[in-house]
Amino acid sequence: MDFTYTEEQEMVRELAATFAKNYVAPLSEQMDIDNTMPHHIAEKMAELGFMGINVPEEYGGAGMDEVSKALVIMEIAKVDASVAELLAVHTLTNDIFLKRGTEEQKKKYLALGASGKVGAFALTEPGAGSDASAAKTKAISDGDDYIINGTKCFISNMGPEEGDYVVLIALTDPSAGTKGMSAIVVDRNTPGFSVGKLENKMGLRGANVSELIFQDCRVPKSNLLGKEGEGFKIAMAALDGGRIGMAAQAVGVAECALDAAVDYSTQRIQFGKPINANQGIQWYLADMATQTEAAKALTLNAAALRQAGKSVNKEAAMAKYFASENAVKVAYQSLQIHGGYGYMKDYAIERMYRDARIIPLYEGTSEIQKVVISRAVITGK
C-alpha cells in the first residue's frame, strides 16, 4: 500500500490545514460556549470545495477521491472536531445521493450540498440506537405521497438554524422489519417536519445535534432514494463510508492532542528540566505517536480501498474502532501530561478531551464495530 499523497491530495490537505488554522481556530472557543456553529463555516467550506469534495464536477462538486476527503476531515479535526463532524456527516449524505439518487435527485441535492446547504442523515431513534433495526418512524403510502410520522434523535447537522435536508430512514412497510425500511429525502421546510430540542452536549459542542419530529409530514414519492425496502441496506452501506470519516476525525483529534503534549512537555520545567526529559513522559509520547500513526494507516487504508470500489465493511469498522479509542486514550494522556493546567479552560486540551469522548459512541459504538469486525472475521467475508 502506497501512503504517499498525490500532488492533488497534498494540495487539498494544505488548503484544509490553512482554513482550519485561519478561519476555524478563532471561532472554536465561542462555538464550545454557544453549543452551536454559525452557518458561515459551511458556506466557507463550500467556497473551498470541501462540502462537495466527493461530488463529481458535473454536479457542481470538486470530484476528489476518498483519501482526499479523509485528509481534509483530519486536518480540520486537528483544530476543531465539531467542524470536522459537520463535514463528515454532510459528505455521507452526498454519498447516498451519488450512489442511490435518481438523476433528478442528484442534480438537486448534490448541487445544493456542494453549494453550502447542509445535509443530515436520520437513522437513530430513542428506542433504536445500536439496534438500528428497531426504528419505528413510518412513511405510509398515500397516493403519490408518503405521510411520515415519528421522532428521530441525536441527529447531527440539524439545529435551530442549521440543516437544510435530511436523508430519513423510515418504515414504508411496518410489517416487514428491516426489509420494510426505505430512505427518503425530506426538505427542512416541509410542513409537518420540525427540528426539536438542540442537545446540550459534554463535548463536540460546536456541532448542531437535534431531535427531529415528523407529524403527518407529506412528501412526494419522488423523494424515495433507491427502491422501497432498501433503506436499511442504504443506511448500512452509507455508514461504511461514514465510519472512515469518523476515523479521520479521531486521527485529527489524536494528532492535535499529541502536538499539544509535545509543546507543553517541552516548555514545562519541573525539577530544573523540561518534563519531557523524563523517560516516563517520553514513553507516553512514543506510545501516543505510534498508536496514532497506526490509526492513520488503518483510516487511509480503508479510504483507499473504498476509492478502489472494494467492500470496506470490516476495514471501516476497524479504522473507526481503533482510531476512536485511540483518540480518547491520547487525549487522556495529553491531559495527564498537562497536569492541573490541562483541566483548565485556558488550554485547548480541555476541549479536545471532551470532544474525543463522543467518537467511540456515534456512527456505531466500539462494541458495534467489534460485532461488524468479528462477523467478517468469522464468515471470512
Residues near ligand CAA, by CB under 6 A: 89, 121, 123-124, 130, 132-133, 156, 178, 232-233, 236-237, 239-240, 313, 362-364, 368, 371-372
Q: Which is nearer to ligand CAA, 165 or 264 (CB)?
A: 165
What the block records as the C-alpha cell of 36 is 452551536
Contact 143, 134 (CB under 8 A): no
Position 78, amino acid = K
Catalytic residue among 57, 125, 363, 367, which?
363
Least distance in angstroms from the C-beta of 369 to ligand CAA: 9
Least distance in angstroms from the C-beta of 236 to ligand CAA: 3
Using the structure block, give the residue that is written with the C-alpha cell 456512527. 363
> Which of 163, 100, 174 lies closest to 135 in space, CA to CA?
174
Using the structure block, give the residue that is written with the C-alpha cell 465493511. 313
| Dihedral-angle region of residue 365 (phi above 0 means left; psi in -120 to 50 means alpha; beta otherwise) | beta
363 a catalytic residue? yes
Q: Which is nearer to ligand CAA, 167 or 288 (CB)?
A: 167
Q: Which is nearer to ligand CAA, 238 or 281 (CB)?
A: 238
Q: How far is CA 161 from CA 15, 194, 309, in A?
A: 27, 11, 36
* Alpha-carbon gap, residue 204 to 193, rounded angstroms: 25
Helix (H, G, I), strand (E, B) or coil at 74: helix
Q: In the chain, which residue ranges form alpha helices assigned H by DSSP?
A: 7-19, 25-34, 40-47, 66-77, 81-100, 103-105, 111-115, 231-267, 279-307, 313-338, 349-356, 366-379
> Which of 179, 124, 181 lies closest to 148 in space, CA to CA?
181
Least distance in angstroms from the C-beta of 122 to ligand CAA: 8
* Alpha-carbon gap, residue 351 to 260, rounded angstroms: 12
Q: Which is nearer to ligand CAA, 12 or 120 (CB)?
A: 120
Q: How far is CA 378 from CA 173, 341, 370, 374, in A?
A: 32, 46, 12, 6
Least distance in angstroms from the C-beta of 45 to ligand CAA: 17
What the block records as the C-alpha cell of 34 is 454557544
Least distance in angstroms from the C-beta of 72 to ligand CAA: 17
Q: Which is nearer to ligand CAA, 130 or 222 (CB)?
A: 130
Least distance in angstroms from the C-beta of 282 to ligand CAA: 36
Q: Which is nearer to ligand CAA, 352 or 372 (CB)?
A: 372
* Alpha-carbon gap, residue 31 to 18, rounded angstroms: 19
Least distance in angstroms from the C-beta of 259 to ligand CAA: 25
Q: Which is nearer to ligand CAA, 203 or 342 (CB)?
A: 203
Q: Which is nearer to ligand CAA, 181 or 300 (CB)?
A: 181
**138 DSSP assignment:** E
Least distance in angstroms from the C-beta of 339 to ligand CAA: 32
Helix (H, G, I), strand (E, B) or coil at 209: strand
* Alpha-carbon gap, residue 285 to 331, rounded angstroms: 12
* Alpha-carbon gap, residue 197 to 276, rounded angstroms: 45
**Which residues form the catalytic set?**
363
